[in-house]
Amino acid sequence: MADENRFEGDAENVLQGRDIYGGVHFHHSRRAATARCQVPPAPAHYTDNERPLSELDEWLVHKHDRDGPKVAILRGPPGCGTTTLAGFWVHQHEESYPDGHFFVRLTAGPDEAEQERPALAELLMAAGITADEIPASLEGRAAQWRSWSTGKRLALVVDDALTAGQVRAFLPGAGASAVLVTEAGRLESLRAWVAVRPVDISPMADDAARLLLGRIVGEDRLAAEPDAVREVIALCAGSTVALCVVASLLTEFPDRPIARLARRLARDERTLAELSPDPDLSVSVVFDAAYRRLNALARRCYQVLGVHPGSGSVSADAVAVALGEDPDDVSDGLRDLLRARLVQETEEDRFLISGLIRRHARAQAEDAEALRRRVIAYYWARARAADALLMPDRGWRERIWPGLPVDTGGQTPAEARRWLEDERENLLGAVRLAYQLGELERTCQLCLALWPLHEQGKYVHDMAAANSIGVEAAVALGDDLSAAVLGCQHGFAHRERGELERAAELFAAAGEAGRRAGSPDAEATAVESLALVRLDQGRTAEAAVLLRRNLEMAERIGVPRRLTLARFHLAKALPAAEALPLLAAVRADFQDRAEPYNLVKTGLWQGKKLIEAGRLPEAAVALDEASELAAEGGWHFERGQLGEARADLALARDEPEVAAAYLRDAAAIYRLRDFGARVRAVQERLDRLTG
């Protein structure tokens, strides 16, 4: 059998021989450093980030040769270009660091923490130290690196650092060195060992994004399709890597219109795939790396935020309910997402995920439908509890779904209203999602429960969108009573938007549904609502006929609160002499019922009718009291209406300048709250008054 003389593996020196006589001697000199410019060059079209570059300039300046090293931690959402920024800064300051520009890249996963030892070996060899001189242990290599670098001026980039311990292993010795660390984990404790400054990198602004695309693609091509360019930039959501992918796609296919790419990116299920054509330039690769660093609970929180309906910020409570986990543990998981810059905290324990990151989070959810249904159940239960607290006497919930349980959870009405306001965007999203998932009864129940939010806040666009879906769900269920009530809510949205004929059509349809359901209550509500539209149209006599009919129906129904409301609305169509006694009785009833919102509306109409009767001092008192109550309750639409009524009072007193001031205040309230139709009407009055 022939002898084999074979070597497998790695070694600094290898000798192969059959017979050796005498000694074997190796003679070599220390290898010169050959790799001290390791930092990758910045892209030729590098754009934006003047602010963080300026912060780095300010922080990394050394006053003395031994006052360092100084460390800057670069933070930002995945794909924002922290690594590129670090490299760009180093190349801008090459001459300040004559002893070398070093780069260490740490891999991304949470199970890859043992990376410092081989990385330090590479650093030491780049510094000119031979492999046989490098200690085996991590501690020995770190000490040798510190010893070699002491007193030198070098720049070091540590990319994707997960822990402060990792960074400590690479810190140079004392000297005027700069260390730029891109953060991938929790590095706060690094402050205990070295001078540190965090530098936050924001998503690229739209104007900077357009500038970047123009530099790569060409300004002429962008100018030819401005709308498509804006759409593409919006879809990239400030992600530098996404914008670079877009630029590469546009340059690869110069004859294709930008609008074609915009259409493909707009397809939600295709966006990430379109932006990940190459592993070397891929949005998915960047986000996947960030996702792998998360612990199991943080990943689950990320998935919930991805499938969550609506565009608003999400409470830790909602995520905890969806996951069935302890709220404190979930709060910790969400804070891990915050540290990874995958979410933003808009206020305490409320988190926002948006743009491409949200699409990525949605794609990670293996049980997406189950998570969505649990989220819907959360908003459904909380919204019904808020409705029960804010309008306990409305009664529709019990009449349509008798026995449906409601748990108010010890909340106060003020807390319930604040919750509805905080969750407004998410609640509309929950209505849409419940309908999409076929939860038709819950869709109807959610729409009914949102009436206090939509009506009192005058969120007419939300009101129209939600109740349009609610009516469709009720019709699909064959539930005429739900269709009647939600149809009236839908009609009120169009009435508040000034679309009076459309509102009248919806109220008429709701009345028909109420008759089919055999519900005098629902039919009377539709009649009352139609009468208010006729009053808005100036058809006062017709409105009065309908409102008297509504009062007769209320008397037959015999529900005290309905009777009070019927009297209140009838008073609007009556002359002052008849209206004022009715309004006085209505006010007393609402005081007994402790309904401050309806007291505000009653005070408004008392003021109007007192002005009509020429009883101006009494009108002033009524309007002042109602205004104070509206401000306390935060009922902004009514605040605007009261401003208009006070302007009427000022004109009745021949005080046009005072009237103009009230109208300006009313217009400002309407404008701030996006009550567009009222802004236009008040502005027209103001223009006529000021000439």
- Per-domain residue ranges of the chain: 50-200, 206-284, 294-366, 499-573, 578-691
Query: What's the pLDDT band for 109 if we cut at 50, 70, 90?
Result: very low
Continuous H helices in 437-575 = 440-449, 451-457, 460-477, 480-496, 500-517, 520-536, 540-557, 560-572
Q: 380-394 burial by CB neighbour count: b if 16+ within 10 A, else e?
A: bbbbbbbbbbbbeeb
> Span 637-649, mean pLDDT?
95
> Span 225-254, mean pLDDT?
90
> Span 618-647, mean pLDDT?
95
Query: What's the pLDDT band for 20 if we cut at 50, 70, 90?
Result: low
Bridge partners (DSSP) of residue 211 are none
From 234, 247, 235, select the one nearest 277 (Cα to Cα): 247
Rounded to a whole number of angstroms, the CA Rg of the chain reads 35
Query: What's the pLDDT band for 113 if we cut at 50, 70, 90?
Result: very low
Residue 114 predicted with pLDDT over 60: yes
Query: What's the pLDDT band for 161 if we cut at 50, 70, 90?
Result: confident
pLDDT digits (tens, 9 = 90+) for 147-156: 999 999 999 9
Q: What pLDDT does 230 receive? A: 93
> Span 509-526, mean pLDDT?
96
CA distances in angstroms from 545 to 40, 523, 573, listed in the order given: 82, 16, 9
Residue 23 predicted with pLDDT over 60: no
Q: What pLDDT does 203 receive? A: 86
> Span 526-541, mean pLDDT?
95
Q: What phi, psi does 346 have (nearest 5°)?
A: -80, -30
DSSP conformational letter for 409: T
CA distances in angstroms from 641 to 269, 383, 551, listed in the order given: 46, 28, 25
Per the prediction, the chain carries an average pLDDT of 89
From 569, 547, 566, select the one nearest 557 (Cα to Cα): 566
- Could you report how far apart the first and last alpha carbons of the chain are, in Å? 115
Q: What pLDDT does 29 receive? A: 47
Q: Does a cis peptide bond (omega within 30 degrees of 0) precede residue 69?
A: yes
pLDDT digits (tens, 9 = 90+) for 454-464: 988 889 899 99
CB neighbours of residue 683 within 10 Å? 16
Residue 32 or 275, more confident:
275
pLDDT digits (tens, 9 = 90+) for 564-595: 999 999 999 999 999 999 999 999 999 998 99
pLDDT digits (tens, 9 = 90+) for 172-196: 999 999 999 998 877 888 888 888 8
Alpha carbon of residue 340 to chain centroid? 17
Half-sphere exposure of residue 211: CA atoms within 13 angstroms, side-chain side: 10
Q: What pLDDT does 678 receive? A: 85
Residue 625 predicted with pLDDT over 90: yes
Lowest average pLDDT, out of 97-106, 271-280, 389-398, 552-561, goes to 271-280
Q: What pLDDT does 18 receive? A: 58
Q: What pLDDT does 441 receive? A: 97
Query: What's the pLDDT band for 238 if we cut at 50, 70, 90?
Result: confident
Name the CATH superfamily for 50-200: P-loop containing nucleotide triphosphate hydrolases (3.40.50.300)
CB neighbours of residue 268 within 10 Å? 10
CB neighbours of residue 146 within 10 Å? 17
Half-sphere exposure of residue 132: CA atoms within 13 angstroms, side-chain side: 9
Alpha carbon of residue 484 to chain centroid? 34
Residue 14 predicted with pLDDT over 80: no
pTM of the model: 0.77
pLDDT digits (tens, 9 = 90+) for 60-90: 887 766 777 999 999 888 888 888 889 999 9
Whether 609 and 597 have beta carbons less than 8 Å apart is answered as no
Residue 58 predicted with pLDDT over 80: yes
Hey, which of 23-27, 263-267, 563-567 has the most confident mean pLDDT?
Answer: 563-567
pLDDT digits (tens, 9 = 90+) for 381-412: 999 999 999 998 888 999 999 989 899 988 99
* Percent of the residues in the chain that have a pLDDT greater than 70, as a whole number: 93
Residue 141 predicted with pLDDT over 60: yes
* Percent of the residues in the chain that have a pLDDT greater than 90, as a whole number: 61
Lowest average pLDDT, out of 104-108, 279-283, 512-516, goes to 104-108
pLDDT digits (tens, 9 = 90+) for 371-382: 999 999 999 999
3-state secondary structure 129-175: CCHHHCCCCHHHHHHHHHHHHCCCCCEEEEEEEEEHHHHHHHCCCCC
Residue 572, amino acid: K
Q: What pLDDT does 673 receive? A: 78
DSSP conformational letter for 41: P
Q: What pLDDT does 190 receive? A: 86
From 680, 80, 641, select the one nearest 341 (Cα to Cα): 80
578-691: which CATH number, 3.40.50.300, 1.20.1050.10, 1.25.40.10, 3.30.710.10? 1.25.40.10
Q: Return all residues near 123 (Cβ < 8 A) that are at least 6 apart.
A: 102, 104, 145, 170
* CATH architecture for the domain at 294-366: Orthogonal Bundle (1.10)
> Span 208-237, mean pLDDT?
91
Q: What pLDDT does 34 receive? A: 47
Residue 627 predicted with pLDDT over 90: yes
145's tokens: 């690196």
From 435, 453, 454, 451, select the one nearest 443 (Cα to Cα): 435
Q: What pLDDT does 10 receive? A: 46
Residue 111 predicted with pLDDT over 50: no
Residue 307 or 38, more confident:
307
